[in-house]
């Protein structure tokens, strides 16, 4: 029993220590809040590009803690509610937050520079799924598809000699 408790404590300490090496940002470190009007509660908002549409999101989006932030903001998530909805993208239910890429660079967590939050000053924020125990693969798949949209893909097939 004592060994089990000790191992559980060590596992929690290692997990907490690892997450602490790549903490969520507590407040925005970039400019751009003046682009969107304040929300209904007077809070600053930031311009966000998803697909080919532009949206204003509250300045708490992706901030303060690991959460399934996209479930509350992404149009594809809002338009396809419910965890069992087959049209709901997988990334909707993955936890993530904005992080300082330099701080996370000294950890085992992966931080990606955002391409959807439009900023006017400072360095655009980075986000991390791994710092929150999430899986970035479904979001990254969407970014690859988005990057290829409208492009011509050419492939060559070598001939097989006789």
Q: Tens of pLDDT along the chain (162 residues)?
A: 333 333 333 233 333 334 578 999 998 878 777 888 998 889 888 888 877 788 888 888 899 999 999 888 888 888 877 767 888 888 888 999 999 988 888 888 989 888 888 888 777 889 999 999 998 887 666 555 555 556 777 777 778 776
Residue 141, in any domain of the structure: no
- With CA atoms as reference, report the closest residue to 110 among 126, 121, 93, 123: 126
Q: Are 115 and 139 spatial neighbours (Cβ–Cβ below 8 Å)?
A: no
0.75 cut: is pTM over it? no
| Residue 106 structural domain | 21-135
Residue 123, in any domain of the structure: yes
- State the pLDDT at residue 24: 95
E strand residue ranges, the chain = 45-50, 53-58, 97-99, 112-113, 117-118, 126-128
- State the pLDDT at residue 7: 30
What's the domain count of the chain? Answer: 1
Report the length, in residues, of the chain: 162
Residue 160, in any domain of the structure: no
- State the pLDDT at residue 140: 65
Residue 146, in any domain of the structure: no
Residue 13, in any domain of the structure: no
CA angle centred on 34, ends 31 and 39, rounded to 5°:
115
Residue 105, in any domain of the structure: yes
Residue 97, in any domain of the structure: yes
Q: Are 135 and 102 spatial neighbours (Cβ–Cβ below 8 Å)?
A: no
């Amino acid at each position: 029993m004592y060994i089990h408790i000790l191992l559980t404590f060590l596992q929690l300490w290692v997990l907490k220590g690892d997450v602490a090496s790549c903490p969520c940002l507590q407040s925005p470190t970039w400019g751009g809040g003046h682009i969107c009007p304040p929300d209904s509660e007077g809070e600053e908002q930031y311009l966000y590009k998803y697909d080919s549409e532009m949206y204003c999101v509250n300045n708490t989006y992706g901030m303060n803690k690991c959460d399934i932030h996209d479930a509350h903001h992404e149009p594809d998530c809002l338009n396809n509610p419910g965890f069992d909805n087959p049209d709901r993208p997988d990334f909707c239910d993955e936890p993530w937050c904005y992080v300082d890429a330099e701080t996370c660079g000294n950890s085992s967590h992966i931080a990606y520079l955002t391409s959807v939050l439009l900023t006017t000053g400072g360095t655009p924020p980075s986000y991390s799924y791994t710092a929150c125990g999430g899986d970035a693969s479904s979001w990254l798949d969407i970014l690859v598809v988005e990057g290829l949209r409208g492009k011509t893909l050419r492939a060559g097939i070598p001939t097989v000699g006789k």
